[in-house]
């Protein structure tokens, strides 16, 4: 393991350099395939090694003199890069958010108190799970990206083709993410945190259009604000406790030590910015201008999960405290508000973004409550969400390449026009809210846990939020199914995109079927690690019922479809008051002309659109966050 | 999972009897409605005649796939009821219920028909409207009984309605939506009314409509079963009480149906969520203070 | 092979009538005449209807509409022409745009004359129609039995 982890962090970085160097698209494509396969194998080796070693928490790298210096140097390089870019685009004040924390950390490392030697890498069930998500989904997205970016470069000839740069960033991100989820030293975590923020910023600005630049700087300052909070937390904790280990911090937080209170709140705040919770949700929406692979990888499947990961780590320290209440409120409120705003979106990617924010909110709320039950729910939310959102983003991207639009209304009857892509969308959406699939089970557990915790606000948020969630997903699914006479379009989705999508779909269904096994053999030990003890969250009877429902949902339409083929049915035109033009798509107007009819969905953009609701929700959540932090500060000082 | 014969009898009873009970209830509904309007009204068995006729008609459809979705809707709905009467997890029942409703929406959407499409859109809004109250009901039972298992909820010492009056009110309120009764029958209405022609069922003729009608009966029996769950306890006599309450609630729905005009869906949404928060929400708040 | 006549569902179509017959048709459904005691429902949806009840004559504009509605109804089905205009064209017969009665466009089974047709006679027409509906249904079942796979495909011509 001591070799695999540095490999997982450094190999993608080497790949990143390689991507930058190779300017031949074909060669780079092959190299990217190889690289992502090697990353996946690396993760596989890590997992196997770790399981063979007994699947117990592993502490590594106590002596890291050289690495520490490298890390410090990289921080300073990053600071310089960000400052240069900020000055180039005349956003001077944003550079402060990079300079201040970096100098703080540098000061701490060079002149700060002597830390006791301790481990820097920590591997347990949670970090292995994150590694799996990052490795497998990240690898697949890179494979997808090779095909996608080919189409993207062709359709968006107005933008400069900088694919070498794009793939460099993707691989660099993978390396940083591995570093992030395996590190235990807060100083290391800080570096990787900054790296992911900045790569996200660079990817959003990929097209260099004015919209992209505005959005990328918005993402940058929000993420750097979180980074600043993180740096302050680290410095404070280092001076007070003489150590910078995340595990130590969580332990002290969970026993109620006063020293840990402030750092925990600040880190939780940083996590909220990373996970795009209100009031910081706008950066994730703006991030949708980036090419789809980066939306899939950074802005839904992995990077935003970094915040969730940190909150899960902190959960024992949050549970039952004011900080936990704050996190739970912000998360729950974000779940509700983002779900409402998702209804009004007509852009498929925006719907996905809103729903990502909403689901992250639910996970944040789970972490904020911080009991074994909610973490169980949160972990499953994370797994299912990572798979299905990555799949949906990739699918919408591929659909956009084919249809040249991602307007939901253009998806009318997609199942007849682009059967493969529509089917994958269908599975992905079903995974997000329908009964047998995982997200719903997680909601079940989250709801139960919030009743157990007597957190009435969270109960309301979950109940109303999930009612609203079903509206926009059902709407979307119905749109796919509606009959259309638009001509079948040629599916220009590349084979590699299809491979990635196919594997995602299989994983989705596989995880649903293996769900009980996953729960008992992986998540329960994870909870035991975190809380010392954990009982089975889901009763067996419910599991049996779930399996039966899965069978029904898959079997019934199939069987009746087969049965229906044999019954002789008289096909009638649909009802339009008898003035149907003979097809199902038009009618004859009073002038005797054929009028085309388009059946549209409801959106209510003028009532519950982002423009109407975003600002009030941001204000409310800001007030709550500031208020809660004041209360906590009052307790500490 | 412990499996005893009592549960099996309940499940089989539901599977076999629910369509008859549901059909009879609808027959009484039409008769009582007629009497409220000073009419003679159709025979009590009229709903069965209707379904029998529908099965005897030529098989027609706008899309063949509609039938598949309707069958999925029916099977899931029956499964929901069977889960409920089998005594399993109440919250899970409600989740499966909404999955079933989703299949109904698909069945309406595949036709590309303006009426059934708007019906489907409104049905989605109705789902969003009643879902909170439905989930809230499950939460209420969980809070006082410590379990979602219908079986254990039904074997409690006292009737749940004593501590859950607000939840009961909210559930009865949304029953109007679920049973497609005026004033909340936006997505599709029953016999004497015509909203959006036939709303969500516009493109369902012959067998498809028969399947839909039978599913509705299963659904109504399940929903009334939930109403009964508020009453039943360990005492066998409470089951009689439950039946009385169910009949009273059903009568109330008929009365509301006949005494009110359809409202716009915006009004429905505001009213229902308001009522849910004010009754179930306040009730929940008080319970959370009591059951710490 | 069931008793289908207990459940005759109506589709009421208003051709170029003066609305007198339409008021009477609706009157048959009101408490005074209460056609629902015969199992009648006014569906408004051809997919669910058994009896097409037409008032008023047929003109050039509504002829394709009537045809289409008729075609959308599943078999067995019965057509009732209510009022003299629907039967023959009535007072509008010689108008430039009037084709005549309903039977100029689709086959009519029951004629209910009157101007306007009285509710009693409309109910009488419905009762005749439902007997015919039963008869056709039996024939339809017989046909389904002898011709495996049901009745042939029906092409729309609306």
- pLDDT at position A535 is 67
Phi and psi at residue A570, in whole multiples of 5°?
-90, 120
Report the phi/psi class of residue A95: left, alpha or beta, with left for phi > 0 and alpha for psi in -120 to 50: alpha
Residues of B in contact with A564 (CB under 8 A): 64-65, 67-68
Residues 175-194 on B with a CB inside 8 Å of C are 191-192, 194
With the C-alpha atoms ordered B111, B117, B119, B123, is the resulting torsion angle positive or negative? positive
Residue A128 within a domain: yes
pLDDT in tens, B101-139: 988 998 888 888 888 888 999 999 999 999 999 999 999
Two structure tokens written together for A492: 């220009």
Instruction: Give the residue with greater pLDDT, A519 vs A467.
Output: A467
d(CA A339, CA A468): 6
Residue A571 within a domain: no
- pLDDT at position A637 is 65
Residues of A in contact with C106 (CB under 8 A): none
| C-alpha B185 chain-centroid distance | 13
In a shared domain, residues A512 and A368? yes
- Residue B190 burial by Cβ neighbours in a 10 Å radius (0-12, 13-18, 19+): buried
Which of B32, B56, B67, B206 should we substitute to test contact with C (largest number of C Cβ atoms within 10 Å)?
Answer: B56
Where do the H-state alpha helices sit in A243-371?
246-255, 258-274, 282-286, 292-296, 303-318, 322-343, 348-369
* Neighbouring chains to C with at least 3 Cβ pairs closer than 8 Å: A, B
Q: Do B72 and A560 touch (CB under 8 A)?
A: yes
Q: How confident is the model at residue C158 (pLDDT cuts 50, 70, 90)?
A: very low
With the C-alpha atoms ordered C137, C138, C143, C148, is the resulting torsion angle positive or negative? positive
Residues 43-62 on B with a CB inside 8 Å of C are 43, 46, 49-50, 52-53, 55-60, 62
d(CA B227, CA B242): 8
**Whether residue C157 has pLDDT greater than 60:** no
Residue C110 near residue C121 (C-beta atoms within 8 A) = no
Listed range (A424-433, A567-576, B157-166, C87-96) with the worst mean pLDDT: A567-576
Average pLDDT estimate for B273-281: 92
Residue of chain C whose alpha carbon sits nearest to that of B48 = C7
d(CA A524, CA B276): 36
First vs last C-alpha separation in chain B: 29
Q: How confident is the model at residue A406 (pLDDT cuts 50, 70, 90)?
A: confident
d(CA A233, CA A217): 24
- pLDDT at position C152 is 44
**Whether residue C153 has pLDDT greater than 60:** no
Q: How confident is the model at residue B249 (pLDDT cuts 50, 70, 90)?
A: very high
- Facing B58 at nearest CB: one of C41, C45, C140: C140
In a shared domain, residues A369 and A509? yes
Q: Do C36 and B41 touch (CB under 8 A)?
A: yes
Count how many pairs of residues, chain A against chain C, have C-beta atoms within 8 Å: 41
Q: Which of A237, A379, A402, A230 is nearest to A313 (CA)?
A: A379
Two structure tokens written together for A440: 């719903």
- Percent pLDDT > 90 in chain C is 23
Instruction: Give the residue with greater pLDDT, A599 vs A336.
Output: A336
Residue C80 near residue C54 (C-beta atoms within 8 A) = yes
In a shared domain, residues A356 and A471? yes
Instruction: Give the residue with greater pLDDT, A337 vs A71.
Output: A337
Long-range Cβ contact pairs of A56-60 (< 8 A, separation 24 or more): A56/A124, A57/A122, A57/A123, A57/A124, A57/A529, A58/A1, A58/A121, A58/A122, A58/A123, A58/A124, A59/A119, A59/A121, A59/A122, A59/A184, A60/A1, A60/A2, A60/A5, A60/A119, A60/A120, A60/A121, A60/A122, A60/A123
d(CA A433, CA B99): 9
ipTM for the predicted complex comes to: 0.91
| C-alpha C142 chain-centroid distance | 23
Residues of B in contact with A456 (CB under 8 A): 284-285, 288
Count CB-CB contacts under 10 A for residue B192.
16
pLDDT in tens, A553-586: 777 777 776 766 666 778 888 888 888 887 888 8
- pLDDT at position A435 is 65
Q: Is A564 on the interface with C (CB under 8 A)?
A: no
Residue B187 near residue C30 (C-beta atoms within 8 A) = no
Q: Which residues contact A177 (CB under 8 A, 6 or more apart)?
A: A134, A138, A192, A196, A302, A303, A306
pLDDT in tens, B15-42: 999 999 999 999 999 999 999 988 888 9
In a shared domain, residues A373 and A233? no
**Whether residue C41 has pLDDT greater than 90:** no
| C-alpha B212 chain-centroid distance | 13
With the C-alpha atoms ordered A100, A103, A109, A110, is the resulting torsion angle positive or negative? negative
Two structure tokens written together for A97: 């958010």
Taking each helix axis from N to C terminus, what angle separates A524-531 and A125-132, rounded to the nearest 10 degrees?
140
Average pLDDT estimate for A72-90: 86
* Class at the top of the CATH hierarchy for domain C4-146: alpha beta
In a shared domain, residues A380 and A409? yes
Residues of A in contact with C66 (CB under 8 A): 578
- pLDDT at position C3 is 78
Report the phi/psi class of residue C126: left, alpha or beta, with left for phi > 0 and alpha for psi in -120 to 50: alpha
Instruction: Give the residue with greater pLDDT, C20 vs A537.
Output: C20
- pLDDT at position A565 is 63
Q: Do A568 and C149 touch (CB under 8 A)?
A: yes
3-state DSSP assignment of residue C82: strand
Q: Is A591 on the interface with C (CB under 8 A)?
A: no
Two structure tokens written together for A495: 């084979």
Which of A373, A456, A478, A602 should we substitute to test contact with B (largest number of B Cβ atoms within 10 Å)?
Answer: A478
Average pLDDT estimate for A96-125: 83
Q: Do C34 and B39 touch (CB under 8 A)?
A: yes
First vs last C-alpha separation in chain C: 31
Average pLDDT estimate for A417-428: 86
Q: What is the nearest CA distance from C35 to chain A, expressed in angstroms?
A: 24
Residue A354 near residue A617 (C-beta atoms within 8 A) = no
d(CA B219, CA B175): 11
Report the phi/psi class of residue A256: left, alpha or beta, with left for phi > 0 and alpha for psi in -120 to 50: left
Two structure tokens written together for A535: 């009982």
**Whether residue C148 has pLDDT greater than 60:** no
Q: What is the nearest CA distance from C127 to chain B, expressed in angstroms?
A: 15
Two structure tokens written together for A455: 């957190």
- Facing C72 at nearest CB: one of A567, A568, A572: A572
Which run of H or E residues covers position A193?
A: helix A186-204
Q: Residue C16 carries which DSSP code?
A: B
Residue of chain A whose alpha carbon sits nearest to that of C70 = A578
d(CA B26, CA B49): 12
Which of C48, C49, C71, C156 should we substitute to test contact with B (largest number of B Cβ atoms within 10 Å)?
Answer: C48
Structural domains of chain A, count: 2
**Whether residue A256 has pLDDT greater than 50:** yes
Residues 319-358 on A with a CB inside 8 Å of C are none
Residue C45 near residue B198 (C-beta atoms within 8 A) = yes
pLDDT in tens, C67-113: 989 988 988 889 999 999 999 988 888 889 898 889 898 999 999 98
Average pLDDT estimate for A94-111: 85
- pLDDT at position B1 is 45
Report the phi/psi class of residue A208: left, alpha or beta, with left for phi > 0 and alpha for psi in -120 to 50: left
- pLDDT at position C151 is 43
d(CA C89, CA C112): 13
d(CA A276, CA A268): 12
- Residue A108 burial by Cβ neighbours in a 10 Å radius (0-12, 13-18, 19+): buried
Q: How confident is the model at residue C2 (pLDDT cuts 50, 70, 90)?
A: low
pLDDT in tens, A160-189: 778 888 889 889 999 999 989 988 888 888
Q: What is the length of chain B? A: 292
3-state DSSP assignment of residue C52: strand
Two structure tokens written together for B104: 């109904």
Beta-ladder partners of C10: C42, C51
Domain that holds residue A345: 319-537+601-637
Residues of C in contact with B201 (CB under 8 A): 45, 48
Two structure tokens written together for B47: 């709903």
Q: How confident is the model at residue A6 (pLDDT cuts 50, 70, 90)?
A: confident
Which run of H or E residues covers position C41?
A: strand C41-42
Domain ranges of chain B: 5-290
């Amino acid at each position: 393991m001591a070799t695999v982890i540095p490999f997982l962090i450094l190999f993608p970085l080497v790949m990143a350099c390689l991507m930058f160097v190779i300017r031949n698209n074909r060669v780079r494509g092959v190299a990217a395939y190889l690289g992502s396969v090697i990353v996946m194998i690396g993760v596989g080796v890590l997992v196997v090694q770790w399981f063979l070693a007994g699947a117990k928490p592993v502490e590594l790298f106590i002596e890291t003199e050289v690495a520490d210096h490298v890390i410090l140097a990289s921080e300073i390089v990053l600071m310089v890069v960000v400052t240069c870019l900020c000055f180039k685009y005349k956003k001077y004040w944003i550079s402060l958010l990079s300079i201040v924390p970096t100098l703080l950390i540098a000061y701490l490392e060079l002149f700060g108190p002597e830390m006791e030697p301790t481990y820097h890498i920590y591997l347990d069930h949670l970090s292995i799970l994150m590694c799996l998500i990052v490795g497998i989904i990240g690898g697949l997205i890179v494979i997808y990206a090779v095909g996608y970016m080919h189409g993207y470069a062709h359709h968006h000839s107005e933008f400069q083709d900088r694919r070498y740069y794009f793939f460099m960033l993707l691989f660099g991100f993978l390396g940083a993410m591995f570093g992030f989820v395996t590190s235990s030293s807060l100083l290391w975590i800080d570096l990787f945190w900054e790296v992911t923020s900045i790569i996200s910023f660079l990817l959003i600005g990929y097209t260099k259009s004015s919209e992209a630049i505005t959005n990328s700087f918005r993402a940058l300052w929000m993420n750097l604000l979180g980074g600043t909070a993180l740096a302050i937390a680290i410095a404070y904790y280092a001076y007070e406790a003489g150590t910078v280990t995340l595990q130590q911090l969580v332990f002290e937080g969970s026993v109620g030590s006063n020293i840990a209170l402030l750092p925990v709140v600040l880190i939780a705040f940083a996590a909220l910015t990373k996970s795009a919770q209100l009031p910081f949700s706008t950066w994730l929406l703006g991030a949708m201008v980036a090419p789809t692979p980066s939306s899939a990888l950074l802005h839904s499947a992995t990077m935003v999960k970094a915040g969730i990961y940190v909150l899960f780590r902190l959960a024992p320290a949050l549970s039952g405290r004011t900080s936990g209440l704050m996190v739970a409120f912000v998360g729950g409120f974000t779940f509700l508000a983002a779900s409402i705003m998702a209804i009004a979106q007509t852009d498929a990617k925006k719907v996905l973004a809103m729903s990502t924010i909403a689901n992250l909110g639910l996970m944040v709320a789970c972490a904020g409550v911080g009991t074994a039950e909610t973490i169980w729910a949160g972990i499953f939310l994370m797994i299912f969400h990572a798979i299905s959102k990555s799949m949906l983003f990739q699918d919408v991207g591929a659909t956009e390449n084919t249809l040249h639009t991602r307007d939901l209304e253009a998806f009318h009857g997609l199942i007849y026009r682009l059967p493969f892509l529509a089917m994958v969308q269908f599975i992905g959406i079903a995974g997000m809210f329908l009964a047998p699939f995982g997200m719903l089970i997680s909601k079940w557990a989250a709801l139960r846990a919030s009743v157990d915790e007597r957190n009435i606000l969270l109960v309301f948020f979950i109940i109303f939020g999930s009612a609203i969630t079903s509206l926009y997903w059902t709407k979307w699914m119905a749109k796919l199914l509606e009959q259309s006479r638009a001509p079948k379009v040629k599916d220009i989705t590349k084979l590699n995109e299809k491979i990635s999508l196919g594997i995602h779909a299989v994983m989705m269904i596989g995880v649903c079927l293996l769900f009980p096994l996953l729960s008992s053999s992986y998540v329960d030990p994870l909870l035991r690690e975190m809380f010392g003890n954990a009982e089975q969250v889901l009763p067996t009877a419910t599991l049996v019922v779930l399996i039966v429902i899965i069978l029904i949902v898959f079997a019934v339409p199939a069987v009746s479809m087969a049965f229906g083929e044999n019954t002789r049915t008289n096909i009638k035109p649909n009802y339009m008051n008898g003035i149907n033009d003979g097809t199902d798509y038009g009618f004859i107007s009073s002038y005797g002309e054929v009028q085309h009819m388009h059946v549209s969905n409801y959106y209510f953009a003028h009532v519950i659109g982002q423009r109407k609701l975003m600002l009030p929700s941001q204000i409310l959540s800001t007030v709550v966050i500031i208020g809660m932090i004041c209360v906590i500060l009052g307790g500490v000082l | 999972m412990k499996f005893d014969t009592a549960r099996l009898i309940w499940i089989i009873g539901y599977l076999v009897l629910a369509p008859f009970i549901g059909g009879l209830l609808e027959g009484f509904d039409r008769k009582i409605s007629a009497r409220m309007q000073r009419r003679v009204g159709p025979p009590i068995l009229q709903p069965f005649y209707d379904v029998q006729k529908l099965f005897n008609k030529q098989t027609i459809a706008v899309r063949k796939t509609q039938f598949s979705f309707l069958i999925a809707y029916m099977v899931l709905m029956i499964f929901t009821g069977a889960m409920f009467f089998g005594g399993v997890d109440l919250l899970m029942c409600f989740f499966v219920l909404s999955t079933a409703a989703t299949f109904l929406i698909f069945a309406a959407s595949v036709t590309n028909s303006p009426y059934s499409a708007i019906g489907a859109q409104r049905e989605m809004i109705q789902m969003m409207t009643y879902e909170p109250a439905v989930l809230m009901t499950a939460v209420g039972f969980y809070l006082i009984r410590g379990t979602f298992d219908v079986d254990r909820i039904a074997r409690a010492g006292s009737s749940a309605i004593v501590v859950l009056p607000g939840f009961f009110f909210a559930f009865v309120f949304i029953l109007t939506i679920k049973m497609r009764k005026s004033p909340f029958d936006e997505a599709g209405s029953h016999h004497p009314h015509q909203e959006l022609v036939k709303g969500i069922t516009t493109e369902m003729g012959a067998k498809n409509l028969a399947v839909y009608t039978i599913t509705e009966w299963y659904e109504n029996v399940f929903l009334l079963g939930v109403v009964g769950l508020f009453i039943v306890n360990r005492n066998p006599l409470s089951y009689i009480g439950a039946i009385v309450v169910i009949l009273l609630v059903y009568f109330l729905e008929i009365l509301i149906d006949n005494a009110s005009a359809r409202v716009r869906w915006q009004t429905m949404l505001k009213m229902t969520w308001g009522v849910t928060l004010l009754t179930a929400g306040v009730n929940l708040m008080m319970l959370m203070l009591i059951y710490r | 092979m069931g008793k289908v006549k207990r459940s005759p569902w109506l589709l009421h179509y208003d051709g170029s009538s003066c609305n007198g017959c339409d008021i009477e048709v609706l009157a048959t459904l009101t408490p005074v005449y209460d056609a629902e005691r015969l199992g009648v429902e006014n569906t408004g949806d051809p997919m669910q209807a058994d009896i097409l009840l037409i008032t008023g004559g047929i003109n050039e504009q509504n002829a394709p509409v009537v045809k289409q509605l008729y075609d959308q109804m599943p078999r067995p089905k019965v057509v009732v022409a209510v009022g003299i205009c629907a039967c023959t064209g009535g007072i509008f017969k010689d108008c430039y745009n009037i084709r005549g009665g309903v039977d100029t466009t689709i086959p009519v089974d029951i004629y209910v004359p009157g101007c306007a047709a009285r509710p009693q006679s409309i109910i009488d027409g419905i009762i005749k129609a439902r007997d015919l509906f039963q008869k056709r249904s039996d024939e339809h079942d017989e046909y389904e039995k002898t011709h495996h796979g049901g009745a042939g495909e029906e092409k729309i011509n609306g």
